[in-house]
Chains A and B, each alone.
Chain A
Amino acid sequence: MREVYFYGTCLVDLFFPDAGMAGIQLLRQAGVRVLFPEGQTCCGQPAYNCGYWEEAREVARTQVALFPQDLPVILPSGSCAGMMKVHYPELFHGQPDEAEVRAFSARVYELTQFLVDVLDVRLEDLGEPVKVTWHSSCHAVRDLGLKGEPQSLLGQLSNVELAPLTRESECCGFGGTFAVRHPEISGAMVCDKAADAEATGAAVILSTDGGCLLNVNGALEAKQSPLRVQHIAEFLWERTHAR
């Protein structure tokens, strides 16, 4: 039986645990045994992005150590997966444990990437007809290099209509500490994103990333919009498992 590690990420751990559970269930549904090591905290991205690399390394080291076996590490986040896969090698460049970290990075996948590119899963839609819209996380696409895997999964669901945003690839304005260091700019960006999503007439806006979802959800709730946000893992799980 195929085995993988699951890395929850701090935002999913704290704000979207249902998405994390759904991701694990989707993997199990595909016949994969999921290991969830204890001691998971954060990939270290906030400190890395702010230039506090020593602090980021201290945290990253404790996380890498949780995944000693040569197994894929699956994350329900494109941004954190991008951090671990693309930026860890740079963060550890010239460090004594660089080789070990590089080997870890090579095993990292974002959830939909693994479901499509490795497992090639087939989904059967058991849900009612629904119209959804899709927000591409900047880091999932531009850092990690997702190539439409989430959309291809949604495309397998016969009762799901995907209504595109006008500016699908434009940043929602989250950007981690950016949202609190530059609240006015970030606020302008997320308000535009929320308005764009509402204009699609969709019932739900989906994404791979907890940061974007937390941000867009906050803006939608603030304007008391009926539109809700959902992590793609949770959405896929809801629609494909027999209750």
Chain B
Amino acid sequence: MHAESEILFRDSAAKALLDPQLRANFRRAMDGLVAKRRAQFPDPKDLQDLRDLSTAIRSRSLLNLPALLEKLEKSCTKNGIKVHWAETCEQANELILGLLQARGAKHLVKGKSMVSEEMHLNAFLEAHGIEALESDLGEYIIQLDGETPSHIIMPAIHKNKDQIARQFSQKIKDAKYTEDVDELTAMARRVLRQKFLDADAGLSGVNFAVAETGTLCLVENEGNGRMSTHVPPLHIAVMGLEKVVATLEEVAPLYAILTRSATGQAVSTYFNLITGPRGNDEKDGPQEVHLVILDNGRSRIYADPQLRATLRCIRCGACMNHCPVYTRVGGHAYEAVYPGPIGKILTPQIEGVGVRHDLLHGSSLCGACAEVCPVEIPIPDILVRLRREATHEDPSSNVVGKGTGRTASEDRAWRIWAGVLKRPAIYRLATWFATRFGWALPASAPLIKSWTQFRTKPVPARRSLSERMRAEGGRHD
């Protein structure tokens, strides 16, 4: 039995595993990213120093979150950036729609923004007659097919060159079929260039928002972020409320560890520091700049001292690149905006631990994610905590859906488990039976069946270690 409307990661993962092309695409891409990151951190001590510093900055920012957000609003306002607050995705969507309608905007170009994915902004705007065009190459590729990102940094990483070549030749007007990467890129560039010029509004995400100076930092590689935020007359930036840091000085180490962890780059091709609309004496830049700050469950996560670490995330994607589960099933199998290890702890905290109970268990707790996380988020520990929340209704916890993953059968199984293992005499009897008759259990028995799909049946030894130690002389040594 599962919680009502529980989303089963097992089913979608099993389906993904049957697609050899998908598995090969992910494995190849992730291997490349892992190698590039490794090359950026030749000295383990330097890496650890930078992680310690980055973790301290992010922890400190979260500790002072309310004060920093107030300061950010003041500084932004001073710079001419209008700040809006949205508690829910619906509110954020309505806010953005209002800003666009006030200017009569019909064509929005978007730089990459995972928060806008979280809001399902594109579908919302299209339902209101506004075109929302993704201008990040990867985002553009998946938008052509009506897909969602399969990776937070490389949204189209599930596709290979041949698949994109076929797609472009079918979906882009007057496009000829080519597998040449430069030609494919030029094709997308041609389409997007005109869209930037025609757009009446641009939208972007925010990597870091600086409270002291009111600066919005945007990391990107294609120049589409700069085009989206500088060419159209209206720029709307969206960010989760955790993205704030105190000073510009604190951005430097975070930026250094972000690009190295994400794509193995020492610096990104573009790093935009946005400080407001076009000045009176300036010839370019938007006339209006707005910042929409989204909560969507973050302030609840913030309120829990352990779970707060989830909000340290700087969205580098290193956890997914190194995850043995993600590299095999890919991002879509998670059926969530944020896939991979960070998604595994973030999604249940936003949607509910009961409906995402199966996802919480879709990890061997190997710890590869925490090992590479630039801000040392203890993902396995948080997974275990959330598994506990899913099956136990702790009155002091504010976790969404707490206790709703509980089933009578699992409760009973663990009670029996504890009942046997806390009574050595019963355990001794159980192991005696297992060693004598364990071989006789059919491979089709429940639990064993899951195991024997890929392996032979485990057969207990003829005599347990305890039994042999007793036989050695009945002594304790």
Q: Mark B436-477, 1 if CB is under 8 A from A, else 0.
A: 000000000001001111111110110111111110000011
CB distance from B408 to the nearest CB of A (A): 14
Q: Are A178 and B460 in contact (CB under 8 A)?
A: no
Q: Are A15 and B460 in contact (CB under 8 A)?
A: yes
Known A16-B461, A139-B367; contact A55-B415, beta-carbon cutoff 8 A: yes
CB distance from B292 to the nearest CB of A (A): 36
Residues of A within 8 A of B387 (CB): 49-51
State A231–B370 Cα separation when bound (angstroms). Answer: 27
Known A173-B324, A187-B454, A188-B17; contact A47-B414, beta-carbon cutoff 8 A: yes
State A166–B138 Cα separation when bound (angstroms). Answer: 30
Q: Are A187 and B453 in contact (CB under 8 A)?
A: yes
Answer yes or no: B291 CB below 8 A from chain A CBs: no
CB distance from B413 to the nearest CB of A (A): 9
Residues of A within 8 A of B422 (CB): 41, 58-59, 61-62
Known A15-B461, A189-B328; contact A180-B368, beta-carbon cutoff 8 A: no
Q: Are B424 and A62 in contact (CB under 8 A)?
A: yes
Q: Which of A144-199 contact B (CB under 8 A)?
A: 169-171, 173-192
Closest residue of A by beta carbon distance from B427:
A41
Answer yes or no: B197 CB below 8 A from chain A CBs: no
Known A41-B424, A185-B362; contact A47-B418, beta-carbon cutoff 8 A: yes
Answer yes or no: B421 CB below 8 A from chain A CBs: yes
Residue of B328, B386, B420 with highest tally of chain A CB at under 10 A: B328
Q: Which of A52-68 contact B (CB under 8 A)?
A: 52-53, 55-56, 58-59, 61-62
State A188–B454 Cα separation when bound (angstroms). Answer: 8
State A182–B366 Cα separation when bound (angstroms). Answer: 14
Interface size range on A against B: 35 or more
Known A38-B470, A142-B366; contact A50-B414, beta-carbon cutoff 8 A: yes
Closest residue of B by beta carbon distance from A171:
B366
State A139–B399 Cα separation when bound (angstroms). Answer: 27
Known A52-B391, A177-B361; contact A189-B417, beta-carbon cutoff 8 A: no
State A44–B388 Cα separation when bound (angstroms). Answer: 15
CB distance from B365 to the nearest CB of A (A): 6
Total number of A-B contacts with CB less than 8 angstroms?
198
Answer yes or no: A21 CB below 8 A from chain B CBs: yes
Residue of A143, A173, A185, A222 with highest tally of chain B CB at under 10 A: A185
Closest residue of B by beta carbon distance from A82:
B367
State A219–B431 Cα separation when bound (angstroms). Answer: 24
Residues of A within 8 A of B476 (CB): 35-38
Answer yes or no: A218 CB below 8 A from chain B CBs: yes
Of the residues B390, B452, B470, contact of A51 by C-beta under 8 Å:
B390
Known A17-B464, A51-B389, A51-B391; contact A46-B13, beta-carbon cutoff 8 A: no
CB distance from A154 to the nearest CB of B (A): 22
Residues of A within 8 A of B453 (CB): 183-184, 187
Q: Are B458 and A188 in contact (CB under 8 A)?
A: no
Query: Which residues of B are interface residues toward A (Cβ below 8 A)?
Result: 9-10, 13-14, 17, 324-325, 328-329, 358, 361-368, 370-371, 381, 384-392, 410, 414-415, 417-418, 420-424, 427, 431, 434-435, 447, 450-458, 460-461, 463-470, 476-477
Query: Which residues of A are interface residues toward B (Cβ below 8 A)?
Result: 8, 10, 12-18, 20-21, 24, 33-42, 44, 46-53, 55-56, 58-59, 61-62, 90, 138-139, 142-143, 169-171, 173-192, 214-215, 217-219, 221-222
